[in-house]
Amino acid sequence: MNALIIAPILIPLATLVLTLLARRHDRLATFFSLAGATALAAVGLALVVFAAEGRILASQAGSWAAPYGISVVIDRLSAAMVAITGIIGLATVVFALARDDDPARSRGFHPLVHGLLVGVCGAFITGDVFNLYVWFEVLLVGSFALLVLGGGKRRLSGTVVYVVLNLVATMMFLLAAGMLYGASGSLNMALLAQAFAAGEVPATANAAIVLMLTAFSIKAALFPVFGWLPASYHVAWTPISALFAGLLTKVGVYALIRIVTLFWPDAGIAHDVLLWVACATMLIGVLGAAAQVEVRRILSFHIVSQVGYMILGLALATPLALAGAVFYLIHHIVVKANLFFIGGIAARLTGSERLAAMGGLYAHAPWLAILFAIPALSLAGIPPLSGFWAKFVLVKASLDASAWIAAAVALVTGIFTLLSMSKIWNEAFLKPHPAGGISARSAAGLRPALWAVSALAAMTVAIGLGAGPVMDYAVAAADQLAAPQAYIQAVVAAGGR
Amino acid sequence: MEIIASITVGLLVAIGIWMMLDRGLLRVVLGVIVLGNGVNLAVFVSGRLDGRAAAFVGESGAPALAANPLPQALVLTAIVIGFALFVFALAVLKRSWELHDNVETDRITAVAEEPAPDLAPKPVADGHATPARAAETEGKA
């Protein structure tokens, strides 16, 4: 059982080492990378099966009891996040098989992707605040190198913004972890949650939590600290920016959900602030997208706007709203990564990602038009796709909580999202190509990319049509989040031998 | 003792933030380093500084006034990770200097805001045309 708990960290770590050792043999490295990503997805799904029964898997590093050993905890939310991380990792590696002469398609790609996955999975399963900081750093180092991979002025300038602002956020988190330890004498999330619930922590610990939430807000790209995201995501190589778009901000969202539900489970002033932040994030993000004229820059602003929905679920703090946030996380990661993938294919076929220079895709590649329509309509929340159920639950939860403004903002944001998607549709797909025609040859070697995109589109449809079981899982995950006692008990019971 | 350390933390953080507001990227990176050291010191101080003895637990239990070893372990981890990140930041700084010929933050960030370069199809050996990123060759170092 312990092996399965730690597997989400060990598998990408082993894959990182193997791909690094095999870096001179492209085929072997690619094989290791594919196998590692497949194994991670399989372990994630196995964890979901275990977690679905309602058990919380917990383990202590080195079998030391709770305050001394580092806790690893997998509840329903963590298991789902690990599974979705494995799936997006696999899609990224498969997409990168497509022929592409971007300089980023290099030997460094596979080890760095798995290095990033180590950090992401570690952040999802740790039960220790300082350990969370370490995993954030691991994924940060991987993302720095991936962002700039391939070089060139453009990527370097995007990386400068990304590096500086993420370093500042990380230091704020470290400072908060230090303050929290100084105030409470513990860094174990479960024990801290127990102390918070019993009122045994001094008020200064709350200041540390506020600082920590600010740091996570930068990571999750919430209003007003989202500026780094649209300034950097569009410069990377297509599979890399899709991987970032799918996973990285969501690690920040996950950390926000985890910390707020554990330490401040009852709705308070922090939830009110988060509610306003969520509304502003949704609206400003989608308005920012309206001003953009390049595919990936439009999609980057939509990441910001969509993160607002998840935080709306967290801010309302009712079980239904939390379930909506969890459902939104699962749905959004798949859809957003897929839109970045499809944007990359469209840019490659038309020769540009500027909307003005694109066109003719509907006539030339109707299959791509269908593949684009599925995640695009899902993002906007058109039934019966996955985004509809996510938005439906969140709007219903807002109405139940009498948060009329939040419900209105969520609906308006949905309409603007649809406008934005139809802008891409009109410009890139319907309009004739400005330079005359699309050369059929540019599609050569694209097949693996289409496999990845089709699989993710199928997942979106499946989540939409089979929303019942997924929503049941999300509701059960939200119940665990809303009642942290089970989480605390699992960690305490997993003490040393 | 903690008072002096806390004031030092405040000074380091203030200097770090002030330097990060500078227009030159060199100052920004140095500011990040100063800020990082201030934060490291803050984590260290969070374990209190009244320890007089090493935290070895003997037959008779831990010594009175033993130093708290946990923040020391934490700060050691943070220093190592921070060092790796600073090295990366310095590498980015050096490359910016080479590629952009200056390290003014406004000019550097403006490059990422420029319209995306077009992908020009270029012929390859087997007769197929594959798109290539035009005008990005200077970055292949």
Q: What is the mean pLDDT of each run of 10 residues along chain A (497 residues)?
A: 84 94 90 94 93 86 76 92 95 90 84 95 93 94 91 87 92 93 89 89 90 94 90 91 93 94 88 94 93 92 94 92 94 94 90 86 88 92 89 93 92 93 91 77 81 93 90 92 88 71
* CB-based contact B74 A177, cutoff 8 Å: yes
Domain boundaries, chain B: 2-50+63-133
pLDDT for residue A436: 72
More confident residue, A71 or B137: A71
Whether the CA torsion A62, A65, A68, A74 is positive or negative: it is: positive
Angle at A397 between CA A396 and CA A403, to 5 degrees: 100
Neighbours of A204 (CB within 10 A): 12
Could you tell me if A213 and A242 are in contact, meaning their C-beta atoms sit under 8 angstroms apart?
no
pLDDT for residue A324: 94
Strands A71-74 and B119-123: what pairing? unpaired
More confident residue, A320 or B104: A320
pLDDT for residue A495: 64
Q: Given B39, B48, B88, which is nearest A175 (Cβ)?
A: B39
Q: Given B89, B105, B131, which is nearest A348 (Cβ)?
A: B131
* CB-based contact B71 A99, cutoff 8 Å: no
CB pairs under 8 A between A and B: 169
DSSP class of A428: I
Cis status of the peptide bond prior to A384, with omega within 30 of 0: yes
DSSP class of A447: H
Min Cα–Cα distance to chain A from B89, Å: 7
pLDDT for residue A28: 92
pLDDT for residue A466: 87
Nearest CA in chain B to A161: B109
Interface of B with A in 18-57 (CB under 8 A): 20, 25, 28-29, 32, 35-36, 39-40, 42-48
Residue B123: φ, ψ to 5°: -70, 140
Mean pLDDT lowest among A134-148, A249-263, B22-36, B50-64: B50-64
Strands B119-123 and A57-60: what pairing? unpaired
CA distance A394 to A307: 13
pLDDT for residue B51: 73
CA distance A36 to A8: 10
Q: What is the ipTM for the molecules in this complex?
A: 0.85
CA nearest A377: which of A409, A344, A430, A339? A339
pLDDT for residue A180: 92
Neighbours of A157 (CB within 10 A): 27
Min Cα–Cα distance to chain B from A476, Å: 35
Question: Distance between the two ends of chain B, CA-based, in angstroms?
Answer: 50
CA distance A270 to A251: 20
Nearest CA in chain A to B87: A141
* CB-based contact B109 A157, cutoff 8 Å: yes
pLDDT for residue B67: 79
Instruction: Note the Cα A276 to chain centre separation in Å.
Output: 22
Min Cα–Cα distance to chain B from A232, Å: 7
* CB-based contact A181 B78, cutoff 8 Å: no
In CATH, what number does B2-50+63-133 get? 1.10.287.3510
**Torsion of the alpha carbons at B4, B5, B11 and B12, rounded to the nearest 10:** 160
pLDDT for residue A1: 55
Q: Which residues of A touch B120 (CB under 8 A)?
A: 351
Confidence at B140, pLDDT banded by 50, 70, 90: very low
Strands (E), A34-171: 57-60, 71-74
pLDDT for residue A221: 92
User: Residue A222: CB partners within 8 Å, gap ≥ 6?
Assistant: A277, A278, A281, A304, A307, A308, A311
Question: Distance between the two ends of chain A, CA-based, in angstroms?
Answer: 15
Report helix, strand and coil shares of chain A as percent, to nearest 5: 75, 5, 20
Nearest CA in chain B to A167: B32
Nearest CA in chain B to A186: B70
Where on the phi/psi map is residue A37: left (φ > 0), alpha (ψ -120 to 50), or beta? alpha
| Token code pair at residue A376 | 């695009």
Residue A102: φ, ψ to 5°: -65, 135
* CB-based contact B120 A351, cutoff 8 Å: yes
Q: Which residues of B touch A441 (CB under 8 A)?
A: 121, 128-130
DSSP class of B112: H
Min Cα–Cα distance to chain A from B66, Å: 15
* CB-based contact A445 B130, cutoff 8 Å: yes
Instruction: Note the Cα A439 to chain centre separation in Å.
Output: 35
Nearest CA in chain A to B39: A175
pLDDT for residue B131: 43
* CB-based contact B128 A168, cutoff 8 Å: no
Domain boundaries, chain A: 1-265+483-497, 267-465
